[in-house]
Amino acid sequence: MDENFNLDLLEEKHSKRKNFWKMFVCGLFAALLSSALTIGILVYTGELSMLPKASAKAKETVLNEDVQNKIGQVLGIMEHYYYEDIDQKKLAEGLYAGLVNSLEDPYSTYFTAEEYTSYKASATGKYCGIGAVLSQSEKTKVVTIVRAYEGTPAAQAGLKAGDVIVSVDGIEATSMELSEFVTHIKGDEGTSVHVVIQREGESKKLSFDITRKQIEVPTVTSKMLEDKIGYIAITEFGDKDVTAKQFSEALTALKKDGMKKLIIDVRDNPGGMLDTVSEMLYQILPKGTVVYTQDKNGNKEVYQSNDNDELNMPLVVLVNGNSASASEIFAGAVKDYKYGTLIGTKTFGKGIVQVLIPLTDGSAVKVTMAKYFTPNGNYIHKKGIEPDINLEYSYTGDKDQPYDMMKDNQVLKAIEVLKQK
């Protein structure tokens, strides 16, 4: 972990408590703030040829001749009457998406091949782009740079937080949704993208030709506070090789600097990979179960630490209503083991797990496949986890200035609690 603490990650978390803009890392299909997009997923790694086939009953009900005839009738009506040309490929994709949407489960989704490619980049925390976080106004569609990661092409080119992106390779930023716009920023490593911005205080627009490169998104940041209290913020539980590795490096660095107590901040963390959060809990908790899942047939899968590599120091975990899924697995395990104090507000309440299954044509389906339970057997779906100390968020600093964690009442309460231990 860098010795210099990256306040940008905390500024982003702070800004998310003030507004509900969409945020994307350039080149990622990562929704960082919508609770409807929180995830706790497993990735299917078996042979695609071994994917389950529809049952005879499903074929009789859903794929029968009557259904096919009706689809043909609807298609004919659309082709004949719709006032513009129809994209046949999009119609087919719509059928697949509609099939999954009929579950009425916000966490089950069909991805086109293009969407799945972007989704995989989001999950791994690695992508090829310029290394900036963008936000888009819901009303005006104006795209603004929230921050440029240190050492990335965006930062090296001179892009700054607050810059308004006018266009990318001639494509106007306000002409589409942010999720689509960022696909024009990412690209093959070594290729160039032309970015035009408007900067406050500058009368003319500024242009940059930026060479794309491989970016690893920092999902963990750390700092040593007073009295040897360590602080680690986790923005999402991405790929195990990224987030768990960054977490391990942060722990190691803080311990090397003499850390005696620790604050782990998962506020506004929408979740992530089940394997990743389990691996991180193995580095904190004593030997035993950290979480288990159970499917509709009663089959259980237990995630259990077999090591005695526990933290062995006072711990506080900060949570709020946007702490969801994998964040709740983390907080729930700490609470069940009575290994630390939870401070903040009740968590989101997502206690189900999805499996992500790629299809042979490059598309994919993400479908809810199990419930998860905390070590003590608690099912928190639509309930959330109550903190040990319930404290609404309050910030006493200037909200127009960079975030100062020493003016965050929940952080201050965590420090107060740890000083008493």
d(CA 265, CA 331): 10
347, part of any domain: yes
Q: 246, 354, 363, 410: which one is catalytic?
A: 354
178 shares its domain with 95: no
Lowest mean pLDDT among 42-51, 61-70, 234-243, 244-253: 42-51
Residues in the chain: 421
346 shares its domain with 236: yes
By three-state DSSP, how is residue 233 classified?
strand
Cβ neighbors of 78 (< 8 A, separation 6 or more) are: 86, 91
pLDDT at 2: 29
Of 196, 216, 236, which residue is a domain's last? 216
d(CA 280, CA 311): 11
224 shares its domain with 243: yes
238, part of any domain: yes
Q: 324 near 348, Cβ under 8 Å?
A: yes
pLDDT in tens, 99-116: 999 999 988 999 999 888
Of 165, 200, 216, which residue is a domain's last? 216
Q: What are phi and psi of 317, to 5 degrees?
A: -115, 125
User: Is the predicted pLDDT of residue 87 greater than 80, yes or no?
Assistant: yes
User: Is the predicted pLDDT of residue 1 greater than 70, yes or no?
Assistant: no
Residue 26: pLDDT band (50, 70, 90) is very low
pLDDT at 37: 31
By CB neighbour count within 10 A (0-12 exposed, 13-18 middle, 19+ buried), where does 395 fall? Answer: middle
210 shares its domain with 284: no
pLDDT in tens, 155-200: 999 999 889 999 999 999 999 888 788 889 988 999 999 999 999 9
252 shares its domain with 230: yes
pLDDT at 86: 93
60 shares its domain with 191: no
d(CA 44, CA 111): 15
Place of tokens 């005695």: 308
d(CA 335, CA 246): 23
Q: Which one, of 36, 48, 58, lies nearest residue 356 by Cα?
A: 48
> Helix H segments across 257-324?
274-282
Is 354 an active-site residue? yes
264 shares its domain with 412: yes
Other C-beta atoms lying within 10 Å of the C-beta of residue 281: 23
pLDDT at 400: 67
243 shares its domain with 348: yes
300, part of any domain: yes
10, part of any domain: no
Q: 229 near 260, Cβ under 8 Å?
A: yes
User: What are 301's two structure tokens?
Assistant: 């899968």
The average pLDDT across 36-55 equals 60
The average pLDDT across 227-231 equals 97
Of 191, 216, 241, which residue is a domain's last? 216
Q: 118, 167, 325, 410: which one is catalytic?
A: 325
pLDDT in tens, 298-348: 999 999 988 777 899 999 999 999 899 999 999 999 999 999 999 999 999
Q: What are phi and psi of 12, to 5 degrees?
A: -65, -45
d(CA 345, CA 318): 9
Q: 29 near 116, Cβ under 8 Å?
A: no
Q: Which one, of 26, 110, 99, lies nearest residue 359 by Cα?
A: 110
d(CA 339, CA 159): 43
384 shares its domain with 262: yes
Residue 285: pLDDT band (50, 70, 90) is very high
User: Is the predicted pLDDT of residue 244 greater than 80, yes or no?
Assistant: yes
410, part of any domain: yes
Q: For residue 130, what are the domain limits?
A: 21-28+126-216
104 shares its domain with 251: yes
165 shares its domain with 270: no
399 shares its domain with 288: yes
Average pLDDT taken over every residue of the chain:
86
Q: What are phi and psi of 405, to 5 degrees?
A: -65, -20
Give, in order, the Cα–Cα distances in Å from 90 to each of 87, 93, 97.
5, 5, 10
Q: 350, 363, 366, 410: which one is catalytic?
A: 350
Q: 323 near 304, Cβ under 8 Å?
A: no
d(CA 319, CA 345): 6
Give, in order, the Cα–Cα distances in Å from 393 to each of 261, 277, 319, 346.
22, 25, 10, 12
Amino acid at 246: Q
Residue 10: pLDDT band (50, 70, 90) is very low
d(CA 148, CA 215): 11
Q: 319 near 374, Cβ under 8 Å?
A: no
d(CA 90, CA 293): 36
228, part of any domain: yes
SS3 content of the chain, % helix, strand, coil (to 5): 30, 25, 40
d(CA 344, CA 402): 22
- What's 211's domain CATH number? 2.30.42.10
pLDDT in tens, 363-399: 999 999 999 999 999 999 999 999 999 999 999 988 7
363, part of any domain: no
By three-state DSSP, how is residue 46 classified?
coil
- What's 290's domain CATH number? 3.90.226.10
Residue 203: pLDDT band (50, 70, 90) is very high
Q: How many structural domains does the chain have?
A: 2
Residue 91: pLDDT band (50, 70, 90) is very high
Measured distance between the N- and C-terminal CA atoms of the chain, rounded to whole angstroms:
27
151, part of any domain: yes
Q: What are phi and psi of 33, to 5 degrees?
A: -135, -10
d(CA 21, CA 397): 21
